[in-house]
């Protein structure tokens, strides 16, 4: 059956409760931390060696699509009514948004140690204990808007600038790609200061705390950000029906150092699932966005 992912702002309190309970249940079973580990393991950047499958790479979108699906399936094994909601950060832009209420994500970290004190993921509730990734403590941390060096969530205009680009991605297919929808949405730039972070990356910066690094999955809002990013790939395809939905088609050849073996072309397999970007270009028959 096709399931529907909804905007978090339109969830009923019962839907929020069921989503949160399934996430907490997954955590108690030890399965949640497996998702944190997978994300940490696949966090390879330009400057490192090896295949970049998840970030700074064309397969940023299909890799996270599959990652979300795995997570959603795990939740649905516990409660078949649950789907991953999405956070439209061009609309819900303040710490007062219902997203951060105690029925869903809980609020900001406190000033002293950035520890989240409200909602289901507060350490004091006893379930949300951080075990994966480097942290100052075993509690979830957030630092909304980074008051010591303020940053805003991405604007509609910056998102539209990414959505307008008719080319999926461009060589050198990394964080320095100077055009192409993928990097404009993922958000790496050569800019300085606050202009360094755009769209998806800027959301991670704005939330702060655990959302900053490879262990960002420790903050459940990770999934709501990525569900919106996933929806944006759909919208981009609908807006550019004549564009290739994924690039590159073919892997860069052995002569093309340093690209060879660093990225996944359309028909190459993405670890850890043995699935090709091509198989994740659509999701009809699995889920839809409302
Ligand atoms: Cu990621």
pLDDT digits (tens, 9 = 90+) for 8-53: 999 999 999 999 999 999 999 999 999 999 999 999 888 888 899 9
Nearest to 264, CA basis, from 117, 64, 30, 32 = 64
**d(CA 239, ligand 1 centre) in Å:** 24
**d(CA 64, ligand 1 centre) in Å:** 7
Distance CA 106, CA 137 (A): 18
**d(CA 91, ligand 1 centre) in Å:** 22
Nearest to 229, CA basis, from 185, 188, 196, 266 = 185
pLDDT for residue 82 is more than 80:
yes
**d(CA 106, ligand 1 centre) in Å:** 21
Q: For position 134, what pLDDT does the model report?
A: 65
**d(CA 55, ligand 1 centre) in Å:** 6
**d(CA 208, ligand 1 centre) in Å:** 14
Nearest to 84, CA basis, from 66, 68, 63, 99 = 68
Span 224-249, average pLDDT: 97
CB environment 89-102: b (16+ within 10 A), e (fewer): bbebbeeebebbee
**d(CA 201, ligand 1 centre) in Å:** 10
Nearest to 227, CA basis, from 1, 16, 2, 4 = 4
Q: How confident is the model at residue 210 (pLDDT cuts 50, 70, 90)?
A: very high
CB environment 175-185: b (16+ within 10 A), e (fewer): bebeebbbbbb
**d(CA 100, ligand 1 centre) in Å:** 21
**d(CA 39, ligand 1 centre) in Å:** 6
Nearest to 110, CA basis, from 71, 137, 72 = 137
255: Cβ contacts below 8 Å, ≥ 6 apart: none
Angle subtended by helix axes 221-239 and 156-163, to nearest 10 = 50
**Cα separations (Å) of 107 from 98, 115, 152, 180?**
10, 10, 17, 34
**d(CA 34, ligand 1 centre) in Å:** 14
> What confidence tens digit (pLDDT) does each residue in 192-205 have?
777 788 999 999 99
**d(CA 92, ligand 1 centre) in Å:** 21
**d(CA 227, ligand 1 centre) in Å:** 11
**d(CA 203, ligand 1 centre) in Å:** 12
pLDDT for residue 221 is more than 80:
yes
Over pLDDT 90: what percentage of the chain? Answer: 86
**d(CA 58, ligand 1 centre) in Å:** 13
**d(CA 222, ligand 1 centre) in Å:** 8
Q: Are 221 and 23 in contact (CB under 8 A)?
A: no
CATH class of 3-289: mainly alpha
The pTM is what?
0.96
**d(CA 54, ligand 1 centre) in Å:** 6
Distance CA 247, CA 267 (A): 10
End-to-end CA distance of the chain: 15
**d(CA 67, ligand 1 centre) in Å:** 9
**d(CA 200, ligand 1 centre) in Å:** 10
Span 89-98, average pLDDT: 96
Spell out the alpha helix ranges (H) of 103-198.
Answer: 156-163, 181-186
Mean pLDDT, the chain, rounded, equals: 94
Q: How confident is the model at residue 162 (pLDDT cuts 50, 70, 90)?
A: very high
Question: Within a 10 A sphere around the Cβ of 228, how many other Cβ atoms?
Answer: 23
- Strand-pair partners of 287: 3
CA-based torsion, 45, 47, 52, 56: positive or negative: positive
**d(CA 275, ligand 1 centre) in Å:** 17
Distance CA 111, CA 153 (A): 20
Q: Are 189 and 196 in contact (CB under 8 A)?
A: yes
**d(CA 28, ligand 1 centre) in Å:** 23
Distance CA 230, CA 71 (A): 14
Specify the 3-state DSSP secondary structure of 122.
coil
Nearest to 84, CA basis, from 203, 9, 4, 185 = 4
């Amino acid at each position: 059956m096709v399931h529907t992912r909804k905007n978090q702002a339109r969830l009923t309190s019962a839907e929020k409760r069921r989503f949160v309970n399934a996430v907490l249940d997954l955590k108690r079973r030890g399965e949640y931390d497996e998702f944190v580990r997978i994300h940490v393991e696949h966090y390879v950047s330009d400057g490192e060696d090896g295949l970049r499958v998840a970030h700074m790479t064309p397969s940023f979108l299909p890799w996270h699509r599959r990652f979300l699906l795995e997570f959603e399936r795990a939740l649905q094994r516990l409660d078949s009514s649950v789907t991953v909601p999405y956070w439209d950060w061009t609309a819900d832009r303040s710490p007062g948004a219902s997203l951060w209420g105690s029925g869903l994500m809980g609020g900001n970290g406190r000033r002293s140690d950035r520890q989240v004190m409200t909602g289901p993921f507060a350490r004091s509730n006893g379930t949300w204990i951080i075990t994966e990734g480097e942290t100052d403590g075993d509690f979830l941390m957030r630092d909304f808007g980074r008051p010591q060096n303020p940053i805003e969530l991405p604007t509609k205009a910056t998102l539209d600038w990414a959505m307008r680009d008719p080319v999926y991605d461009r060589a050198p297919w990394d964080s320095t790609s100077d055009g192409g929808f993928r990097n404009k949405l993922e958000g790496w730039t050569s800019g300085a200061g606050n202009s360094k972070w755009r769209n998806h990356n800027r959301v991670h910066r704005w939330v702060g705390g655990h959302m900053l690094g490879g262990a960002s999955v420790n903050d459940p809002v990770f999934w709501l950000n990525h569900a919106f990013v996933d929806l944006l790939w759909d919208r981009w395809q609908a807006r550019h029906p004549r564009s290739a939905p994924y690039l590159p088609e073919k892997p860069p050849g052995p002569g093309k150092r340093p690209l060879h073996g660093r990225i996944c072309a359309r028909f190459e397999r993405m670890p850890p699932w043995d699935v090709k970007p091509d198989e994740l270009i659509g999701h009809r028959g699995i889920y839809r966005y409302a």
